[in-house]
Amino acid sequence: MLELDIADDGVATLALNRPEALNALSGPLIDALLSALADIQANPDARVLLLTGRGRAFCAGADLRDPMMGLDLPPTERGRRFLQSADQGVHALARALAHLGKPRVAAVNGPAVGGGASLALAADIVLVARSAYFQQPFTAQLGLVPDMGGSWQLMRRLGPARAMGATLLGERISGEQAEAWGLVWQCVADEALADAARSIARRLAASAPRALAELPGVMAAALHNDFDAQLDCERDAQARLVQTEDFMEAVSAFKDKRPPAFSGR
């Protein structure tokens, strides 16, 4: 159902492994993901998360056959069930990814649909195979709205015009189109995806952990701060980072013309 491997290079690979269900998110899979993310967050040897899928899909979104959907319940009870399953399930998962405190890389090996797209877009760097695609079927096909942070991600990554078009129409966004629109970092050949994602994850794992933890907050603040407030945000983060051993190690490495060896201190 889920594979977790924490390698000596600091890359924690988390692979959805329900290929028979296109890696759709069931209650047990969500629970397994939450447990694995807690382990990665607590493990100092796991410096970077690399998220991918096994089989021909990345993730087909929520498993509509799972009891968490409450399809057999009366409407009011179904609504109550969803409130509970969202808070304890898919939205708990979105929050766990958002607050992991470590870089997140997604290797989208196949279709990323609905909540599966939200899962991929929760990563800091998203690589997508050329044959893969993203799709938002919530409104057009299911009479719903995006969840799991999908609306938040799409509006920020695509802007209002494309985000609304993607959600209203529910059309597929190919890997190449996703790259052209700025939805992802890079679209690569299918056979190159695993190595390309691994290479980026290794580069991040060799970087300064505390700087990597500070960066998302600084960049996110720039979306709502005015210029002066953002200067203050940058200043405060920088003041914390120049006190670290990693910064002094970077200075020494620069002087010695060698790669720095960051410790996270």
Domain with CATH 3.90.226.10 in the chain: 2-205
State mean pLDDT over 219-236. Answer: 96
Residue 78 has a pLDDT of: 84
Mean residue pLDDT of the chain comes to: 94
State mean pLDDT over 1-22. Answer: 96
Q: Which residues pair with 188 in a beta bridge?
A: 129
Q: Which CATH class, in words, describes the domain spanning 209-256?
A: mainly alpha
Residue 7 has a pLDDT of: 95
At residue 232 the predicted structure's pLDDT band, cuts being 50, 70 and 90, is very high
Provide CB contacts within 8 A for 151, sequence distance 6+: 145, 163, 167
Residue 13 has a pLDDT of: 98
Query: pTM for this structure?
Result: 0.92
Per-residue pLDDT tens for 15-52? Answer: 999 999 999 999 999 999 999 999 999 999 999 999 99
Residue 120 has a pLDDT of: 98
State mean pLDDT over 131-156. Answer: 94
Residue 81 has a pLDDT of: 83
Q: For residue 178, give the nearest of 136, 133, 123, 125 by alpha carbon.
A: 133
What is the residue whose two structure tokens read 């069931």?
Answer: 26
Q: Provide the CATH topology of domain 2-205.
A: 2-enoyl-CoA Hydratase; Chain A, domain 1 (3.90.226)
Whether residue 265 has pLDDT greater than 90: no
State mean pLDDT over 160-182. Answer: 97
Per-residue pLDDT tens for 65-111? Answer: 877 777 788 888 888 888 888 889 999 999 999 999 999 999 999 99
Provide CB contacts within 8 A for 253, sequence distance 6+: 259, 260, 261
Residue 64 has a pLDDT of: 81
Which range among 84-88, 126-130, 206-210 shows the weakest confidence by mean pLDDT?
Answer: 84-88
State mean pLDDT over 217-230. Answer: 95
At residue 54 the predicted structure's pLDDT band, cuts being 50, 70 and 90, is very high
Q: Give the span between the Cα atoms of 89 and 92, in whole angstroms.
A: 5
Pairing mode of beta strands 133-135, 186-188: unpaired
Q: For residue 102, give the nearest of 47, 42, 52 by alpha carbon.
A: 47
